[in-house]
């Protein structure tokens, strides 16, 4: 998929039908449309490579995610609700809270 407004192929949220023109827009363009009742101007659109997204630093005394061993996460580190003392990356934490079990190895990305 690609946003009909900014041409982005990724979105922080979900793909949503535009309120103003036929087609699908990214979360950022949709939120702008909703607030300003017009399409998001190109001057506000910044195309950044994914490697430029800031990462949350490791917690002091932590070696990364206790489940998948990743050294970086896109948001905040979380404490496991299932295993006392475990520190989890955002992805493992979300999976654990939704599925009530640890994220299985088959879902880990090979980095």
Share of the chain above pLDDT 90, in %: 26
CATH superfamily of 1-47: Erythroid Transcription Factor GATA-1, subunit A (3.30.50.10)
| Residue among 111, 86, 106 at smallest CA distance from 97 | 86
Beta-carbon contacts of 64 under 8 Å, excluding residues fewer than 6 positions away, are 58, 70, 71, 72, 87, 89
Domain ranges in the chain? Answer: 1-47, 50-111
Q: What pLDDT digit, counting tens, does each position of 31-80 carry?
A: 999 999 999 888 777 655 444 445 556 666 667 888 988 887 777 888 88
| Predicted pLDDT at 61 | 62
What phi and psi, each to the nearest 5 degrees, are found at residue 34?
Answer: -65, -40
Asked if the domains 1-47 and 50-111 are classified in one and the same CATH topology, the answer is yes
- 109 vs 111: CA distance, rounded Å: 6
Q: What does the mean pLDDT of the chain come to?
A: 82
**CATH of region 50-111:** 3.30.50.10
- Reply yes or no on whether the pLDDT at 30 is more than 70: yes
């Amino acid at each position: 998929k690609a946003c009909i407004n900014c041409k982005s192929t990724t979105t922080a949220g979900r793909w949503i039908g535009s309120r103003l023109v036929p087609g699908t827009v990214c979360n950022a363009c949709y939120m702008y449309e909703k607030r300003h009742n017009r399409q998001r101007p190109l001057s506000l659109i910044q195309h950044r490579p994914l490697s430029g997204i800031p990462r949350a630093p490791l917690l002091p005394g932590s070696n990364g995610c206790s489940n998948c061993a990743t050294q970086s996460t896109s948001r905040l580190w979380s404490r496991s609700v299932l295993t006392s003392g475990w520190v989890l990356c955002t992805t493992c934490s979300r999976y654990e809270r939704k599925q009530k079990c640890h994220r299985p190895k088959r879902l880990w990305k090979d980095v």
